[in-house]
């Protein structure tokens, strides 16, 4: 009885406290309208932002402090097509592919909340295909640099030795994120087409909008990966 009176007094004095305690103790929502899955994704993305930010700051520091000339990106990342050398053409296509995947991901979230299973499945698979295409083109870029140009993480015949270390570390870390994203996109797409997300029952990764909220959570990760590439593109290829 004493516990009941204490609880009533707390609710009367601080009405918001009871709601906070209820939400956190339910094991379903971190806040009233935010699922634990989405909240944890945001926390992960914030932590990942610090990691990528540290990498890019280290890259800028190394590039500005080295006394050896830095390789010209327009020459290093040029491709010869039809007898003509085209600077940054591969990088431009890679960027177009990845940015386009953000559009298909946004559409997948939209159609997911409409419970259009087939359309959502196709858009998720298209996003995964675009992501896999990006990773494949990045693998081609790495192969060209290693085999044809002789670039290594510990050396670079075209200039500053730090170029190889920073390039492979940052683009490799980002490529790993894209690869993991592709795997999870396929997993979510399979769940969609099988009808596993049609239940309205709330859970760890779902809120009032139903289980299709996991598609939106996956979209947060994918848009973050695309945004990080914009910074990598600007720092490595345009600077």
User: pLDDT tens for residues 86-105?
Assistant: 888 899 999 999 999 999 99
Over 60: is that where the pLDDT of 29 sits?
no
Q: Are residues 6 and 101 in the same domain?
A: no
Q: Are residues 125 and 198 in the same domain?
A: yes
The whole-number pLDDT of residue 118 equals: 94
Q: Are residues 72 and 146 in the same domain?
A: yes
Q: What is the pTM of this model?
A: 0.81
Q: Are residues 52 and 7 in the same domain?
A: no
Q: Which residues contact 132 (CB under 8 A, 6 or more apart)?
A: 182
| CA dihedral for 174, 141, 94, 130, sign (positive or negative) | negative
Q: Are residues 125 and 226 in the same domain?
A: yes
Q: Are residues 214 and 99 in the same domain?
A: yes
Q: Are residues 146 and 47 in the same domain?
A: yes
Q: Are residues 121 and 152 in the same domain?
A: yes
Mean pLDDT for the chain overall: 83
Residue numbers of the domain that contains 77: 37-238
The whole-number pLDDT of residue 13 equals: 45
User: For 43-94, how does the pLDDT look when each residue is reduced to its tens digit (9 = 90+)?
Assistant: 999 999 999 999 999 999 998 988 888 888 888 888 877 778 888 889 999 9
Q: Are residues 90 and 15 in the same domain?
A: no
Over 80: is that where the pLDDT of 18 sits?
no
Q: Are residues 9 and 66 in the same domain?
A: no
Q: Are residues 26 and 43 in the same domain?
A: no
For 65, counting Cβ atoms within 10 Å of its Cβ (0-12 exposed, 13-18 middle, 19+ buried), the class is: exposed
User: For 152-172, how does the pLDDT look when each residue is reduced to its tens digit (9 = 90+)?
Assistant: 888 788 888 888 899 999 999
Please check whether residue 96 is in contact with residue 168, taking contact to mean a CB–CB distance below 8 angstroms.
no
The tally of domains found in the chain comes to: 2
Q: Are residues 11 and 127 in the same domain?
A: no
Pairing of strands 84-86, 29-31: unpaired
**Per-residue confidence at 15, pLDDT binned at 50, 70, 90?**
low
CATH number at residue 213: 1.20.120.80
Q: What one-character DSSP code corresponds to residue 210?
A: B
Rounded to whole angstroms, how far apart are CA atoms 36 and 70? Answer: 45
Cβ atoms within 10 A of the Cβ of 180, count? 13
Q: Helix/strand/coil (H, E, C) string of 149-169?
A: CCCECCECCCCCCHHHHHHHH
Please check whether residue 57 is in contact with residue 51, taking contact to mean a CB–CB distance below 8 angstroms.
no
């Amino acid at each position: 009885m004493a516990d009941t009176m204490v609880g009533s007094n707390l609710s009367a004095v601080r009405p918001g406290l009871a709601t906070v305690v209820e939400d956190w103790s339910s094991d379903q929502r971190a806040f009233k309208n935010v699922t634990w899955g989405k909240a944890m994704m945001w926390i992960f993305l914030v932590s990942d932002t610090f990691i990528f930010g540290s990498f890019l700051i280290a890259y800028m520091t190394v590039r500005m402090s080295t006394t050896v000339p830095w390789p010209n990106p327009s020459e290093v990342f040029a491709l010869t097509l039809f007898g003509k050398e085209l600077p940054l053409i591969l990088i431009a296509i890679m960027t177009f592919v990845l940015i386009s995947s953000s559009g298909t991901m946004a559409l997948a979230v939209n159609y997911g909340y409409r419970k259009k299973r087939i359309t959502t499945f196709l858009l998720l698979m298209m996003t995964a295909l675009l992501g896999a295409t990006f990773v494949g083109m990045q693998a081609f870029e790495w192969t060209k640099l290693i085999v044809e140009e002789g670039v290594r993480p510990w050396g670079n015949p075209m200039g500053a030795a730090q170029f190889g270390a920073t390039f492979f570390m940052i683009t490799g870390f980002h490529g790993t994120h894209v690869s993991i994203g592709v795997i999870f996109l396929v997993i979510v797409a399979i769940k969609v087409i099988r009808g596993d997300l049609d239940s309205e029952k709330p859970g760890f990764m779902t809120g009032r909008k139903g289980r299709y909220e996991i598609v939106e959570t996956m979209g947060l990760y994918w848009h973050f990966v695309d945004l990080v590439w914009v910074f990598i593109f600007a720092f490595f290829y345009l600077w």
